[in-house]
């Protein structure tokens, strides 16, 4: 099979909602934001997801994935561990910190079954981004594609979570995803312009919604 085609198919598999790593069980605070009626309309939900994508993920998760991919290809295990643990330490709530490790561990175990090798120490405190970096290097995916895939998987999960909470119809959910497509490209462009000195993020309202979600009386999603 053509190498480029195989890489694309592996990317589709990696970002598929059917991938058994459990990220569908988390809402990352958007459940609380909808429940408290901070987000009342389809447009509100789009703006929330777009804001987190462009002002947070683009400045932190994406450049971390790119840097980890480079570290893997340069056989720099020390740098790879440093970026992974720094990314994990940056999670602003216990909910986000726990989610990243639980989903990250499930992803790494899945990759192990695909004969992707990594340091066993990573299973103690992995991140989802680490799994994406390992898969992208193993399957020879280009950096732009893996960043696009990471963004798409995150956006799709946020939209799906919103659809279960609000609820939204399938047409509304597809409209949100369509509107997010240019924002994904913008997020990648932002990430490409960052380095270790300029990357970083903090969205107080996002962190607040996640921390309050941990104590929400009734919820569909894990905390």
Distance CA 43, CA 53 (A): 15
Structure confidence at residue 83 as a pLDDT band (50, 70, 90): very high
**What is the value of pTM for the model shown?**
0.94
| 159 pLDDT above the threshold of 90 | yes
Max CA separation in the chain (angstroms): 52
- pLDDT given at position 133: 96
| 160 pLDDT above the threshold of 90 | yes
Structure confidence at residue 2 as a pLDDT band (50, 70, 90): low
Residue 165: name the closest of 19, 38, 15, 50 by CA: 38
Helices first, then strands: H and E counts in the chain: 10, 0
For 49-73, what is each residue's pLDDT tens digit? 999 999 999 999 999 999 999 999 9
For 103-116, what is each residue's pLDDT tens digit? 999 999 999 999 99
Residue 21: name the closest of 129, 138, 179, 166 by CA: 129
Does the CA dihedral 56-61-66-67 come out positive or negative?
A: positive
Both tokens of 10, joined, read: 């592996």
- pLDDT given at position 3: 65
Query: In the chain, what are the domains?
Result: 33-213 (1.10.4190.10)
CA distances to 74, 75, 159, 192 from 80, rounded to whole Å, are 10, 9, 31, 18
Contact 209, 29 (CB under 8 A): yes
Residue 42: name the closest of 156, 150, 174 by CA: 174
pLDDT, mean of residues 150-167: 94
Residue 204: name the closest of 26, 23, 29 by CA: 29
| 156 pLDDT above the threshold of 90 | yes
- pLDDT given at position 223: 67
| 47 pLDDT above the threshold of 90 | yes
**pLDDT, mean over the chain:** 92
What torsion do the CA atoms of 151, 155, 161, 162 make, to the nearest 10 degrees?
A: 160
Cβ atoms within 10 Å of 49's Cβ, excluding its own = 25
Structure confidence at residue 98 as a pLDDT band (50, 70, 90): very high
């Amino acid at each position: 099979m053509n190498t480029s085609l195989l890489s694309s198919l592996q990317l589709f598999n990696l970002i598929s909602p059917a991938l058994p790593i459990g990220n569908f069980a988390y809402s990352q605070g958007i459940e609380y934001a909808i429940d408290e009626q901070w987000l009342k309309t389809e447009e509100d939900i789009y703006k929330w997801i777009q804001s987190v994508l462009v002002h947070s993920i683009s400045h932190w998760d994406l450049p971390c994935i790119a840097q980890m991919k480079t570290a893997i290809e340069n056989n720099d295990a020390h740098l790879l561990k440093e970026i992974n643990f720094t990314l994990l330490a940056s999670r602003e709530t216990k909910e986000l910190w726990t989610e990243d490790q639980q989903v990250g561990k499930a992803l790494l175990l899945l990759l192990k079954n695909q004969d992707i090798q990594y340091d066993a120490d990573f299973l103690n405190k992995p991140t989802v981004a680490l799994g994406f970096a390992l898969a992208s290097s193993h399957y020879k995916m280009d950096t732009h594609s893996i960043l696009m895939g990471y963004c798409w998987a995150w956006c799709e999960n946020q939209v799906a979570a919103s659809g279960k909470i609000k609820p939204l119809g399938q047409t509304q959910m597809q409209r949100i995803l369509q509107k997010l497509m240019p924002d994904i490209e913008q997020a990648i462009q932002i990430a490409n312009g960052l380095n270790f000195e300029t990357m970083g993020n903090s969205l107080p309202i996002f962190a607040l919604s996640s921390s309050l979600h941990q104590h929400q009386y009734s919820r569909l999603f894990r905390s």
